[in-house]
């Protein structure tokens, strides 16, 4: 089982001062956050991507992934291609981070890229519901 799945952190969000609903504190992982459930891990992904749009104007797969997985530690272009291919959304098309139709497939594809296995759709949807109700 991948580290992201073990930590209920399907986006492999690193430890930071930011706090999320459902976060396990302190994390038992020195580098990555842990969440109570996969739904809370997905919720954190939706929150971060929405923050990228609001704070930094990143509203495309290319923009979001370039920040999420920077080239200093990732093959960013490959990640962008992977998410675009899996979702059928052009890497440079504008996304609405408050749209379930736009974001659930993007986050599911990111989870698959991060963990090497398909996301459990019900968990992604549960994370969306937690995000949308905040």
Reported as a single tens digit per residue, the pLDDT across 60-104 is 999 999 999 999 988 999 999 999 999 999 999 999 999 999 999
pTM of the full structure = 0.96
Query: Domain limits at 107?
Result: 3-132
Which stretch of DSSP H or E encloses residue 43?
Answer: helix 38-56
CB distance 61 to 84 below 8 Å: yes
Considering its fold, how many domains does the chain have in total? 1
- How do residues 92-117 score in pLDDT, each as one tens digit? 999 999 999 999 999 999 999 999 99
Strands (E) across the chain are located at 23-24, 34-35
Indicate the Cα dihedral angle 1, 44, 69, 24, nearest 10°: -50
Average pLDDT along the chain: 97
What residues contact 93, with CB distance under 8 A and at least 6 apart?
60, 61
pLDDT at 134: 78
């Amino acid at each position: 089982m991948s580290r992201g799945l073990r930590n209920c952190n399907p986006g492999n969000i690193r430890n930071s001062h930011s706090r999320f609903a459902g976060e396990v504190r302190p994390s038992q992982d020195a580098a990555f956050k842990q969440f109570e459930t996969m739904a809370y891990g997905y919720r954190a992904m939706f929150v971060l991507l929405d923050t990228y749009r609001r704070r930094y104007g990143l509203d495309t797969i290319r923009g979001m992934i370039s920040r999420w997985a920077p080239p200093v530690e990732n093959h960013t272009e490959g990640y962008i291609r992977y998410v675009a291919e899996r979702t059928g959304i052009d890497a440079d098309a504008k996304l609405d981070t408050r749209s379930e139709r736009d974001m659930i497939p993007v986050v599911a594809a990111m989870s698959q890229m991060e963990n090497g296995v398909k996301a459990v759709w019900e968990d992604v949807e549960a994370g969306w519901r937690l995000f949308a109700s905040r």
